[in-house]
Amino acid sequence: MVEGVGSEEAQRADGAARQRGGEPAVVIGGGPAGLTAAYELARRGLPAVVYEKDDIVGGISRTVERDGYRFDIGGHRFFTKITEVEALWHELLGDDLIERPRLSRIFYRGKFFDYPLRPVDALLKLGPVEAVRIVLSYLYVRLTPRGEERSFEQWVVNRFGRRLFEVFFESYTEKVWGIPCSEISSDWAAQRIKNLDLMAAIRNALLGSGGGRGGKEKGEIVTTLIDRFQYPRLGPGMMWERCAERCAELGAPTHLRREVVRLRHDGGRVNEVDVRRHDGVDGGEGDGGGEVETIACSSVVSTMPVPGLLRALDPPPPDEVLAAAAKLRFRDFLTVVVVVDREHLFPDNWIYIHAPEVRVGRIQNFKNWSPEMVPDASRTSLGLEYFVQEGDELWSAGDDELGALAARELAWLGLAEEDDVVGHYVVRMPKAYPVYDRDYEQALAVARRHLEGIGNLHPIGRNGQHRYNNQDHSMLTGMLAARNILREAESASGSSATGGAAGPAHDLWAATEDDSYLEAPERGSRSLADRAVPRRLEEDDLAAGDERLEQAIAAAFARYDPVALGGAVGVIAGALVFLLTAVLLLRGDEPLGPNLSLLGHYLIGFQVSWPGALIGALEAALLGFGFGWLLARTINLLVDLAAESVVRECELEGLLDPFDLSRLED
């Protein structure tokens, strides 16, 4: 377990850090990004210390434990395409990282729909009337596409038809974001599917998710159609507890209930940070705060939210920077975990709740993530997830009130009896989602420019870079930040004290902006050492096998050239008619080809004569051309429809789960 400041272990570790000389690197936040950075620094012998304002490590990837029930904030699948991240998970968790099957479905109108949505399944379950409405509205938009796509609603309707939008998108998206779909910018939808790996999707459609190079040996192929995932036996928090323990052993302690409230800098470097103790009952910010300690530092790795970081700078940034920071918004998250006195409720890991009649957005069944998440196998713990805004009426509601609401909604949905609910726990997670609204990009650019002016300050991670990401990406930024610090240390000492492990400088924000930094998992994972500058992975990384497979896929979806096929059929048909006629003419039998001349019924002017042969050949060539052309067009249409259905399916998949980044960001 991670120890606090006063503990013997932490003190020993602190001492060790100081002994190695120099001020420590201060890491703000004991979530995945911060702990990964600390671990990387510590194992290369650089002093580091982590301050975490909560009383638990793991950040959003924590595992909360109440009365033996363990639960995540959401549910955290472990999957990545980054070799080092995968290696670190295995190094720290070993056999405790288990592989789990994935099942998640959409619950709507009392029925479970396959997720990813499969058109036939959906249409069958919605019933004939609804199915016809969906198909008709789809055909309508396909035939009369609208030009304007400013809002998310317009974007989806244009692609899938209004009815499908109403059934599967509208209520869920509005629950998630808390604003009408007509007010959500279409950029968000485009952003969600921008990295969609078309080849991977088609490969999956053709070969199933095990297809392609490596198959199962190389771990799961991280595709949009993933059906298994890794998960620590005791939840994601297990990973971060282990990591914090290892850091402490290596001399980088984690101090809980310590909030960094001020970063004192001289314009170019942060020299000290002020840390406030929160040793009250609650820990965290809410307990009023205790004494403040000033810590000298050599550098700072920050995972605290960008606006908070800017406000904590001393001297403060100019007003326009603070104003920009204030525009960065977050969506908050609340989980009500109810304990149901039933051994088995449903087989899914989680269920999406689209029904507009209830407020719950998603329901996790933690036992299906790992059986060890419940202390008593005869009971089931369900996490009902509500997407909220800090301070709104749900956020402010009392725990009992929320427990009652959750039980009521479960019963309404028919997933459990209200009377079977025997307990509840509530966890509120502020700033769970950085919001990508119309203003965020510009505001973030202003904030970033200012932060880049402070050389030894390294903002990383999800809220640290206002990046809507997964653990692995946060960890990547942590690793890169550590390498930059090592590099600084090496150049300051003029030696390669750390064994030259740092490599060239890494642009932390580039890893955030350039999606290809993390792209193309199954085409060979990248080693961090290669990541001097972000570059597109596909150029040189396509393994030969995959390249061939992709060529084959491209060939399978290739279009026939209608003119070429028409031409070829025409030439063959014309030549055939000419040859058949010529043979009879050359043999000179009497009467001349009474049967062949019947072709004259179809080829006007055709006779078994030399001029007839020419006319017939010409006409046959024209007809052949028409036939070949039509054939090519028809095949192309069918190929287009097949390709389009794969693309649409992927787009659907990416859009249906606005918070499930694995589906697209991988």
**Dist CA 112 CA 611 (whole Å):** 71
The interface partner of residue 52, options being another protein, ligand FAD, none and the CB cut-off 5 to 8 Å by kind, is ligand FAD
76 touching ligand FAD, by CB under 6 A: yes
63 touching ligand FAD, by CB under 6 A: no
CA distances from 24 to 27, 269, 273 (A): 9, 14, 11
Strand pairing category for 292-296 and 270-277: antiparallel
Are 302 and 463 in contact by the 8 Å Cβ rule? The answer is: no
The interface partner of residue 565, options being another protein, ligand FAD, none and the CB cut-off 5 to 8 Å by kind, is another protein
The interface partner of residue 31, options being ligand FAD, another protein, none and the CB cut-off 5 to 8 Å by kind, is ligand FAD
Q: Which of 86, 130, 98 is nearest to 111 (CA)?
A: 130
Helix axes 32-43, 471-493, angle to 10 degrees: 30
The interface partner of residue 520, options being another protein, ligand FAD, none and the CB cut-off 5 to 8 Å by kind, is another protein
474 touching ligand FAD, by CB under 6 A: yes
Q: In angstroms, what is the minimal distance from the CB of 595 to another protein?
A: 6
Per CB under 8 A, contacts with another protein among 516-535 are 516, 519-520
| The only residue of 260, 443, 481, 537 in contact with ligand FAD, by rule CB under 6 A | 260
Per CB under 6 A, contacts with ligand FAD among 20-39 are 28-34
**Dist CA 325 CA 304 (whole Å):** 13
Phi-psi label, residue 498: left if phi above 0, alpha if psi -120 to 50, beta otherwise: alpha
Burial 428-443 (b: 16+ CB within 10 A, else e): bbbbbbbbbbeebeeb
Please enumerate, as own/partner, the contacts of 264-268 that have beta carbons within 8 Å and a separation of 24 or more: 264/294, 264/314, 265/313, 265/314, 265/315, 265/454, 265/457, 267/453, 267/454, 268/453, 268/454, 268/455
156 touching ligand FAD, by CB under 6 A: no
Q: In angstroms, what is the minimal distance from the CB of 461 to another protein?
A: 25
Stretch that binds ligand FAD, among 133-141, 403-411, 455-463, 561-569 (CB under 6 A): 455-463
Are 477 and 508 in contact by the 8 Å Cβ rule? The answer is: yes
Residue 396's CB is within 10 A of a number of other CB atoms, namely 11
Question: Which residue intervals of 257-327 are DSSP H helices?
Answer: 306-312, 319-326
Stretch that binds ligand FAD, among 93-101, 466-474, 524-532, 626-634 (CB under 6 A): 466-474
Are 58 and 73 in contact by the 8 Å Cβ rule? The answer is: no
Question: Considering beta carbons, is residue 402 or 549 the nearer one to ligand FAD?
Answer: 402
196 touching another protein, by CB under 8 A: yes
The interface partner of residue 61, options being another protein, ligand FAD, none and the CB cut-off 5 to 8 Å by kind, is ligand FAD
Q: Which residue has the tokens 């005869």?
A: 378
CA distances from 604 to 313, 369, 626 (A): 90, 74, 16
| The only residue of 19, 144, 378, 595 in contact with another protein, by rule CB under 8 A | 595
Q: How many residues bind another protein (CB under 8 A)?
A: 38
| The only residue of 158, 204, 303, 484 in contact with ligand FAD, by rule CB under 6 A | 303
The interface partner of residue 29, options being ligand FAD, another protein, none and the CB cut-off 5 to 8 Å by kind, is ligand FAD
Per CB under 6 A, contacts with ligand FAD among 94-153 are none
| The only residue of 89, 160, 188, 333 in contact with ligand FAD, by rule CB under 6 A | 333
Q: In angstroms, what is the minimal distance from the CB of 39 to ligand FAD?
A: 12
531 touching ligand FAD, by CB under 6 A: no
| The only residue of 17, 25, 41, 60 in contact with ligand FAD, by rule CB under 6 A | 60
Are 41 and 24 in contact by the 8 Å Cβ rule? The answer is: no
Run of H or E including 258 = strand 258-265
| The only residue of 192, 213, 462, 466 in contact with ligand FAD, by rule CB under 6 A | 462
Q: Which of 402, 406, 408, 414 is nearest to 345 (CA)?
A: 414
The DSSP symbol for 165 reads I
Task: Name the amino acid, one letter, at 159.
Answer: R
Q: Which of 552, 509, 493, 336 is nearest to 425 (CA)?
A: 336
The two tokens of residue 509 are: 């924000």
Strand pairing category for 421-434 and 330-340: antiparallel
Question: Considering beta carbons, is residue 165 or 333 the nearer one to ligand FAD?
Answer: 333
Q: In angstroms, what is the minimal distance from the CB of 435 to ligand FAD?
A: 12
601 touching another protein, by CB under 8 A: no
| The only residue of 73, 580, 599, 617 in contact with another protein, by rule CB under 8 A | 580
Stretch that binds another protein, among 8-16, 290-298, 472-480, 566-574 (CB under 8 A): 566-574
The interface partner of residue 643, options being another protein, ligand FAD, none and the CB cut-off 5 to 8 Å by kind, is another protein
361 touching ligand FAD, by CB under 6 A: no
Q: In angstroms, what is the minimal distance from the CB of 641 to another protein?
A: 14
The interface partner of residue 558, options being ligand FAD, another protein, none and the CB cut-off 5 to 8 Å by kind, is another protein
Using a 10 angstrom Cβ sphere, with 0-12 exposed, 13-18 middle and 19 or more buried, the burial of residue 547 is middle
Are 247 and 41 in contact by the 8 Å Cβ rule? The answer is: no
Per CB under 8 A, contacts with another protein among 635-654 are 643
Q: In angstroms, what is the minimal distance from the CB of 183 to ligand FAD?
A: 22
The interface partner of residue 170, options being another protein, ligand FAD, none and the CB cut-off 5 to 8 Å by kind, is none
198 touching another protein, by CB under 8 A: yes
Are 141 and 162 in contact by the 8 Å Cβ rule? The answer is: yes
Q: In angstroms, what is the minimal distance from the CB of 475 to ligand FAD?
A: 8
Are 479 and 460 in contact by the 8 Å Cβ rule? The answer is: no
Task: Name the amino acid, one letter, at 462.
Answer: R
Q: Is the dihedral of CA 650, 652, 655, 657 positive or negative?
A: negative
77 touching ligand FAD, by CB under 6 A: yes
Residues that bind ligand FAD (CB under 6 A): 28-34, 51-54, 59-61, 73-77, 259-260, 303-304, 333, 432-433, 461-464, 469-472, 474, 659
Which residues of this chain interact with another protein, rule CB under 8 A?
193-199, 516, 519-520, 536, 538, 550, 553-555, 557-561, 563-565, 567-569, 571-572, 576, 580, 583-584, 587, 589, 593, 595, 643
